[in-house]
Amino acid sequence: MLLIHCPYCDETLPEPEFAYAGEAHIARPADPMALTDEEWRDFLFIRSNPRGTHYERWRHVHGCGRFFNAIRDTVSDKFAMTYRAGEPRPNLDALKEAAE
Amino acid sequence: MTAQIHTFPRSPVTVAVRPLATRFSLRLRPGHRETGEAALGLPLPHRIGRISVEGGRQALCLGPDEWQLDAPEAEADAIRAALPGSLPHALVEVTDREVTFVLEGPGVLDLLSIGIARDLSRLEIGRGARTVFDGVQAVLVREAGERFTLSVWRSFAPHVEELLHRGARELALGL
Ligand SMILES: [Zn+2]
């Protein structure tokens, strides 16, 4: 079972309290009418689906109820970090260097 | 020879239903928390899981903008009237929505572990949490080292109660 750190509760808690909510940092276009069908399709359906570092959303649904973001390795399932919704996308390489 | 057991050993944990006095769900933006505290005459903790008590009133912080308020029935009207309309908030009475179980005894952590994946030995006395018990959303409060309350929505209560009694019985039999 995954253990996930909720940045609002500031606790590391078991996965059944959380719900996965897709890739993070995807902003809805401000003016959808200005988009081509292909651009709109890409916004709706096309995701990066990386092998490795993935920026993704989670929700502490059976807890504080908040959405937040996480960086997880899709191969090892290891969480690098979690951070509050609305915060800028952290630079993982810079964080790794700072930790070393 | 078959020995028939007529008396069962005492369970290391008891399960009982605690009648609720009055419970409210309060939603309030973090920026309005202090105004809400002054109006209610009750501190609203800003850390999730913390509980404050003032007189007979109690507030448990469930989220950055969410509290569970418990109070004696006689204070219900006063609480309903406490928050001014000029303060954006949502206050909903949820007394009849929930059933609260009191679980007590040296086996209480073992009993809760049948439904909750959290490490509850780390939950400090006097704190609470919203979590999930065997798939059912629940609010758990550690009132004492060996006493917890578990509140679930009424429609889930028969399932939770059956499971708790079964678990307590298994613990009593040493299974
Ligand atoms: Zn949380």
Region of A77 on the Ramachandran plot (φ > 0 left; ψ -120 to 50 alpha; else beta): left
Identify the CA nearest to B36 among candidates B70, B77, B76, B67.
B67
Per-residue model confidence as pLDDT tens digits over B62-81 = 999 999 999 999 999 999 99
Show Cβ contacts of residue B64 under 8 Å, excluding neighbours closer than 6 positions: A8, A64, A66, B30, B48
Min Cα distance B9 → chain A (Å) is 33
The rounded distance, in Å, linking the Cα atoms of B70 and B63 is 16
Q: Which residues does residue B127 pair with via DSSP β-bridges, in sequence order?
A: B50
Number of folded domains that form chain A: 1
Instruction: Check if B64 contacts A (Cβ < 8 Å).
Output: yes
**Which domains can be identified in chain B, with CATH numbers?**
7-19+97-173 (3.30.1360.120), 22-96 (3.30.70.1520)
ipTM over 0.90: no
Whole-number Å distance, alpha carbon B61 to ligand 1 midpoint, is: 11
Whole-number Å distance, alpha carbon B96 to ligand 1 midpoint, is: 26
> Count of alpha carbons within 13 Å of B135, Cβ hemisphere only?
3
Indicate which CATH number applies to the domain containing A21: 3.30.2270.10
* Residue B5 pLDDT exceeds 60: no
Q: Which residue has the higher pLDDT, B175 or B155?
A: B155
Of B64, B118, B137, the CB nearest to A66: B64
Range of the domain at A39: 3-98
- Residue B121: how many other CB atoms lie within 10 Å: 8
Q: What is the model's pTM?
A: 0.90
